[in-house]
């Protein structure tokens, strides 16, 4: 079962995914991570902003009433709307995103009270770094925060400055990115490596010995932890769409890392179980059922 009383502070881009021929679904990479951490037994504190509009009100209601979370660190802004993303799904189930700009989540203020919370982990992502406001806000907090700093790299075309992402990699303790994003980061740092392992080792020579996890879709994930490389086990499923699958994987890894009994092989497998399950569902925040709770919380999910 989940360990007791873990807590996570998350700088969330709160937005709504508008998929063709479907009603809008609440999303946002770091908000999806928050959702899954909550389901896994963590106490979460989402920090964000929404607009004073219908979608913003819906988000506040869902997070407060359905998730049973404190929303005191989510600001309501009058001059900018709640985030919206137009999503297209291709025949293979892979998603592409058109993220509206600006949005309320471009202005995430980490308040004095949030800074004084005692939390096991702080989670932030590259998507929110498109605004100079968030770059300053996150950098200031990362300078003083003493817990596990978890950075979710999601490189979106036209949304991210690789120079800024490179800087924030150096602030992090735990970094999650996919294989394509690793290639882009390697290019940025002029890293040449014949395989993932060589690129990871070269990257740690530049940014320091972080915890680095590479997701690879239906292939086995790779984890760098304490100087060693671990390969996970691929979990193949019938994919409905990939929205939020990587976020679920990331949440499960964070949940494992803030457990003092962290086992890298078991953590990789459990994270793959959760990520692949989300890929079989509509939307990034599916309701948990007995299928996933049985697999995740009992010995079926441990090698």
How many other C-beta atoms can be found within 10 angstroms of the C-beta atom of residue 49?
25
CA atoms of 100 and 24, how far apart (whole Å) = 14
CA 179 from centroid of its chain's CA atoms: 16
Residue 222 and residue 7 in contact, taking contact as beta carbons nearer than 8 Å? no
Measure the CA angle with vertex 229, ends 211 and 179; round to 5°.
75
DSSP count for the chain of H helices, then E strands = 10, 13
Tens digits of pLDDT across the chain (303 residues): 444 557 999 999 999 988 887 889 899 999 999 999 999 999 999 999 999 999 999 999 999 999 999 999 999 999 999 999 998 888 777 778 888 999 999 999 999 999 999 999 999 999 999 999 999 999 999 999 999 999 999 997 766 789 999 999 999 999 999 999 999 999 999 999 999 999 999 999 999 999 999 999 888 999 999 999 999 988 889 888 888 999 999 999 999 999 889 999 999 999 999 999 999 998 899 999 888 888 777 644 433
Q: How far apart are CA 144 and CA 177, in angstroms?
A: 24
Q: Who contacts 260 (Cβ-Cβ below 8 Å, separation ≥6)?
A: 3
Taking residue 72's Cβ as centre, other Cβ atoms within 10 Å add up to 13
CATH no., domain 7-290: 3.40.1190.20
Q: Number of C-alpha atoms within 13 angstroms, CB side, residue 16?
A: 20
Q: Where do we find the tokens 């950075």?
A: 151
In DSSP terms, which residues pair with 96 in a beta bridge?
A: 88
In whole angstroms, what is the distance from residue 178 CA to residue 195 CA? 14
Q: In terms of C-beta density within 10 A (0-12 exposed, 13-18 middle, 19 or more buried), how is residue 56 classed?
A: buried
Q: How far is CA 28 from CA 69, 124, 161, in A?
A: 17, 11, 19
Cis peptide before 102 (omega within 30 of 0): yes
- In angstroms, what is the C-alpha Rg of the chain? 18
State the Cα–Cα distance between residues 245 and 194, nearest whole angstrom: 27
Q: Are 128 and 156 in contact (CB under 8 A)?
A: no
CA distance 258 to 261: 9
Q: If you count them, how many residues does the chain have?
A: 303
Using one digit for the tens of pLDDT, what is the confidence trace for 223-236?
A: 999 999 999 988 88
Break the chain down into helix, strand, coil percent, rounded to 5. 40, 20, 40
Domain boundaries, the chain: 7-290
Summarised one tens digit per residue, pLDDT across range 40-98 is 999 999 999 999 999 999 999 999 999 999 999 999 999 999 999 998 888 777 778 88
């Amino acid at each position: 079962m989940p360990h007791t009383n873990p807590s996570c502070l998350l700088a969330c881009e709160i937005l709504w995914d508008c998929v063709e021929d479907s009603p809008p679904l609440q999303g946002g990479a770091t908000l999806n991570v928050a959702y899954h951490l909550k389901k896994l037994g963590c106490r979460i504190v989402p920090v964000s902003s929404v607009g004073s509009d219908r979608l913003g009100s819906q988000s506040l209601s869902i997070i407060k009433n359905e998730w049973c979370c404190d929303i005191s660190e989510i600001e309501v802004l009058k001059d900018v709307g709640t985030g919206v993303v137009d999503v297209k799904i291709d025949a293979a189930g892979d998603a592409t995103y058109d993220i509206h700009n600006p949005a309320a989540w471009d202005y995430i203020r980490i308040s004095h009270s949030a800074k004084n919370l005692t939390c096991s982990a702080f989670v932030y992502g590259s998507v929110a770094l498109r605004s100079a406001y968030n770059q300053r806000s996150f950098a200031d907090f990362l300078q003083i925060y003493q817990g596990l700093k978890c950075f979710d790299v999601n490189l979106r075309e036209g949304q991210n400055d690789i120079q800024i992402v490179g800087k924030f990699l150096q602030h992090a303790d735990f970094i999650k990115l996919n294989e394509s994003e690793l290639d882009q980061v390697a290019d940025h740092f002029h890293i040449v490596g014949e395989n993932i392992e060589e690129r990871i080792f070269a990257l740690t020579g530049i940014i320091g010995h972080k915890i680095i996890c590479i997701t690879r879709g239906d292939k086995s994930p790779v984890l760098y932890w304490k100087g060693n490389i671990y390969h996970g086990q691929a979990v193949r499923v019938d994919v409905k769409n990939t929205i939020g699958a990587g976020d679920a994987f990331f949440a499960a890894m964070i949940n494992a890392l803030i457990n003092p009994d962290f086992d890298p092989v078991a953590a990789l497998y459990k994270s793959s179980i959760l990520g692949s399950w989300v890929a079989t569902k509509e939307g990034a925040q599916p309701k948990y059922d007995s299928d996933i709770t049985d697999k995740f919380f009992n010995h079926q999910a441990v090698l």
